[in-house]
Amino acid sequence: MIQNVPPLRELVTKYIEEYGISEKCDLPKTTKNKRESFKRFFIFLGNSEFNLESIRKYNIFLEKKGNKASTRQTELKCLKSFVHWLYVEEYIEKDWSVRFPKLSVKKKKIDIVSPEVAEQIIFEGCKPGDGDNSRNREIKKSMEIMMRLMLRTGLRFNEANGLSNVDLNFDLPKPIIQIQNAKGGDYEIIPCPLDMKNELLERMENKKLFKNTIHTCNLALKRGCNALGIKEKLTSHSLRHIFASSLLAQGVSLQQVSRLLRHSSVEITDQIYSHYSIEDLQRIISTKGVLTKKSATTEEMFNEIEQAIKNTGFLEGNQIEFIRNGKEFSFKMKICA
């Protein structure tokens, strides 16, 4: 440490207040989690010196207590960010955060369904019952509209539920939604789904568009899945995953999806959704590789062309018909003015 450095606890307080905000972590829940994480570490640290060795011992301590790698990673990530901040602010001479223990964390399986099925689940889960009074019916309608909006925009629950009537602008040629990132930070702008314009306009009579809870929304999705016999376990955050994965499956670039999700970097998007694009990678190998293209059968080539046309979305009006007759393949295209 450099001389005349304030006590460790004072530095932690300063880090949370100043650096946390600059990193868009000023959400009350995030700040609270950081404080609790440091509190647990200080209890372990006691009067020992704060250094790399104490970090390693803390990791071992957490592991012996039965904490999973993902939990330990969260704890260490907070400490690692703090150590890096100490270096940036010149409280320490070397950035030893780069030497933190590296943990192997298995990716959780994310249950998703197609956007069409997801919307059916929302409708079914928010369907009013015979015994519902007017208030319950309004609550279910509010959940239905909000979750369909999340499905179309990739909004997080807090972002959608926090929308007010001044956040929507339908006066522009292309309507927009202004939101504050759920992680904190500045307001951001996303396109508004045009097919929901009228439903959203009706709700703009109220200052706050939605007053839902994440618990009731998750219960509604559970009801919808059970009613339709869907085995996947969906939550309100699953709608964001469905939004992103469906765009990637249609060939939208990772960079564009990252912008729509408002991730701080493309790397974050890639880490979460890289396994969803394996089919796209396979298609690239099959269609772009010189040797692979030469050995492709007529049926394989036709399948690739059919899939490419399907990804454009032009099949909804039956404008294109695919014909398979034995080893002969063809398609008819009908363009309506």
Reply yes or no on whether the pLDDT at 142 is more than 50.
Answer: yes
3-state helix, strand, coil in the chain (%, to 5): 55, 10, 35
Q: How many Å apart are CA 94 and CA 202, to the nearest integer?
A: 57
Q: Is the pLDDT score of 303 beyond 80?
A: no
Q: SS3 for 6?
A: coil
Task: Please tell me whether residues 84 and 136 are part of one structural domain.
Answer: no
Q: Are residues 81 and 134 in the same domain?
A: no
Q: Which of 98-107, 231-240, 250-259, 297-306 has the lowest mean pLDDT?
A: 297-306
Query: Where does a domain end: 252, 276, 300?
Result: 276
Q: Is residue 122 domain-shared with residue 260, that is, in the same domain?
A: yes
Q: Which of 233, 251, 276 is the last residue of a domain?
A: 276
pLDDT above 80 for 311: no
Beta carbons within 8 Å of 103's beta carbon, 6+ residues apart: 59, 69, 72, 73, 76
pLDDT at residue 154 is higher than 50: yes
Over 90: is that where the pLDDT of 326 sits? no
Residues 90 and 41 both lie in one domain: yes
Total domains in the fold of the chain: 3
182: tokens are 């759920």
| Per-residue confidence (pLDDT) for residue 56, from 0 to 100 | 95
Confidence at 27, pLDDT banded by 50, 70, 90: low
pLDDT confidence of 125, banded at 50, 70, 90? very high
**Residues 123 and 271 reside in one and the same domain:** yes
Higher pLDDT, 263 or 331: 263
User: Is 97's pLDDT higher than 70?
Assistant: yes
Q: What sign for the dihedral angle of Cα 48, 49, 50, 52?
A: negative
Mean pLDDT of all residues in 203-216: 92
User: Based on the domain organization, do 159 and 269 belong to the same domain?
Assistant: yes
Q: Which positions ≥6 away from 234 have C-beta within 8 Å?
A: 111, 112, 113, 118, 121, 221, 222, 225
List the 187-191 sheet strands across, edge first.
Answer: 168-169, 176-180, 187-191
Report which of 186, 138, 133, 180 is spatially closest to residue 161, judged by C-alpha positions: 180
Q: What number is the average pLDDT over the span 17-24?
A: 58
Looking at this protein, which amino acid is placed at residue 246? S
The answer to whether residue 56 is domain-embedded is: yes
Taking the C-alpha atoms of residue 185 and residue 21, their distance in angstroms, rounded to an integer, is 8
Per residue in 245-260, pLDDT (tens digit) is 888 878 788 888 888 8
What's the rounded mean pLDDT across residues 292-305? 64
Which residue range(s) make up the domain with 28? 8-99
% of the chain surpassing 70 pLDDT: 75
What's the pLDDT tens digit per position in 44-83? 999 999 999 999 999 999 999 999 988 999 999 999 999 9
Among 29-43, 92-106, 139-153, name the most confident range.
139-153
Residue 292 counted as domain residue: yes
